[in-house]
Copies of this chain bind each other. A is one copy, B any other.
Amino acid sequence: MSIQSFHPPVRTLMGPGPSDISPRVLEAMSRPTIGHLDPVFVDMMDEVKELLRYAFQTRNDLTMPVSAPGSAGMETCFVNLVQPGDTVIVCQNGVFGGRMKENVERCGGTAVMVHDDWGAAVDPNKVEEALKANPDARVLAFVHAETSTGAISDAQTLSALAHQHDCVVIIDTVTSLAGSPLMVDEWELDAVYSGSQKCLSCTPGLSPVTFSQRALDIVTSRKHPVQSWFMDLNLVLGYWGGGGKRAYHHTAPVNALYGLHEALVMLQEEGIENSWARHRKNHEALRTGFEAMGLSFLVPEDQRLPQLNAISVPDGVDEAAVRNILLNEYNLDIGAGLGPLAGKIWRFGMMGFGSNQTNVLFCLGALDAVLSSMKAPITSGVAVDAARVFYSAD
């Protein structure tokens, strides 16, 4: 065995995440490691919490990154809020609602499923019916921005419904945070998790979460211990909580947190409303190009996420071959469909640092060339110009 140092190719990341990362964030990852209980590090943790509060638009005290990827952030919400015997209403309109169901069941709860089509938003009417039909439910769980389809749901309306029926809300904002308006306090969201590698444009591996007082009260008054030691917020708060002495819980991923800190400083510099507007604008440019080519979106226009564009594969086109050519010849990484959408869609991410004009024009040009070379049923040679005209008119 003689394995050499690994030097990755330089890709353009326009899949469902990780997204393109600023050189500032990559450089921050390589700063000297210090101890996870070093007073200087503890001060930096406080800054990360404050910057996350800004990103989430909340004043929640319990706002921090879980030291593991978004799936662990999801599990942190469920293991802390769901006890054996609980009924949880789970909305599914893509991959991640299904994962929520798994989480509920592994906590000993019962998941009452509310299904919508993959590619549609969650239907508030169906949710209201489920809440009425299950008066014992105490949690409503749904995905704000479905990464598997590119649909956004109306979090504010769903949250209001939940509270009318004495439920707390668990919400997946992995792909929405910093890319689409997300107002944790104004919308009264209770347990919110996200990921570092989408519109925050940090490296993958951390899951920002924020808990309302209503959610925290449930955690601290549980009768049944949280089944996970690693994710038990009663313990994690001893390390990440404010105020007095920090207690050792686990060893924080120091350098990954340097990266998240830098990504959040960049978000603060840009301003969150400007970040939302940038994601919207570059999505519209990309859409203009796709539509000029004759490609169509999976998701109806009013339910579309700007940062995740699911495009139907044209008839007769080998979708995997297109992705392979884009990856191998253009170093352009786009996403495939998942589950029932496998083979039927491509997913183009326009997230965080990667949501920019260069990527839009590059991607449209590359896709145009590859599809044309395959004799796909598209209008060739017009997509890039259409997007350029869009930008010029701005």
Is B251's CB under 8 angstroms from A204's CB? yes
Is A265's CB under 8 angstroms from B9's CB? no
A51: CB under 8 A from chain B? Answer: yes
Is B248's CB under 8 angstroms from A203's CB? no
B residues in contact with A252, CB < 8 Å: 69, 204-205
* Contact pick for A3, options B107, B227, B229, B268, CB 8 Å: B268
State the CA gap A117–B109 with chains docked (Å).
41
Instruction: List the B residue with the shortest CB-CB distance to A324.
Output: B39
B residues in contact with A195, CB < 8 Å: 251
B residues in contact with A204, CB < 8 Å: 33, 36, 251-255
B residues in contact with A27, CB < 8 Å: 30
B residues in contact with A29, CB < 8 Å: 26, 29-30, 255
A100 to chain B, nearest CB (A): 10
A41: CB under 8 A from chain B? Answer: yes
Q: A32-B8, A34-B9 are in contact. Are A69 and B251 (CB under 8 A)?
A: yes
Q: Per-residue 0/1 for A246-290: is the Cβ within 8 Å of any B Cβ (1 yes, 0 no)? A: 001111111110110110110010000000000000000000000
B residues in contact with A36, CB < 8 Å: 18, 204
State the CA gap A15–B35 with chains docked (Å).
8
Is B67's CB under 8 angstroms from A68's CB? yes
A1: CB under 8 A from chain B? Answer: yes
State the CA gap A103–B229 with chains docked (Å).
6
A111 to chain B, nearest CB (A): 13
Is A228's CB under 8 angstroms from B69's CB? no
A70: CB under 8 A from chain B? Answer: yes
* Interfacial residues of chain A within 7-45, with CB under 8 A of chain B in the complex: 7-11, 13, 15, 17-18, 20-21, 24, 26-36, 38-41, 44
A322 to chain B, nearest CB (A): 16
Is A203's CB under 8 angstroms from B254's CB? yes
Is A265's CB under 8 angstroms from B4's CB? yes
Is A225's CB under 8 angstroms from B106's CB? yes
Instruction: List the B residue with the shortest CB-CB distance to A255.
Output: B203
A54: CB under 8 A from chain B? Answer: yes
State the CA gap A224–B203 with chains docked (Å).
35
Is A205's CB under 8 angstroms from B333's CB? no
Is B229's CB under 8 angstroms from A47's CB? no
B residues in contact with A264, CB < 8 Å: 3
Q: A29-B30, A251-B195 are in contact. Are A226 and B258 (CB under 8 A)?
A: no
Instruction: List the B residue with the shortest CB-CB distance to A54.
Output: B1
Instruction: List the B residue with the shortest CB-CB distance to A71.
Output: B250
* Contact pick for A13, options B34, B51, B70, CB 8 Å: B34
Which of A2, A72, A79, A102: most chain B CB closer than 10 A?
A72
Could you list some 5 contacts between A and B, CB below 8 A? Answer: A9-B34, A21-B32, A26-B29, A72-B250, A203-B253
Going nearest first, the 8 A-B pairs with the smallest beta carbon separation are A205-B253, A68-B68, A30-B30, A71-B250, A203-B255, A29-B29, A204-B251, A26-B30
Q: A69-B250, A203-B253 are in contact. List 17 more A-B contacts (CB 8 A).
A: A6-B28, A6-B265, A8-B32, A8-B33, A8-B40, A11-B38, A13-B33, A21-B33, A26-B31, A27-B30, A33-B197, A71-B249, A106-B226, A107-B227, A203-B256, A248-B338, A256-B256
Q: Which residues of A contact B (CB under 8 A)?
A: 1-11, 13, 15, 17-18, 20-21, 24, 26-36, 38-41, 44, 47, 50-51, 54, 67-72, 75, 79, 99, 102-103, 105-107, 195, 197, 203-205, 225-230, 248-256, 258-259, 261-262, 264-265, 268, 327, 333, 338
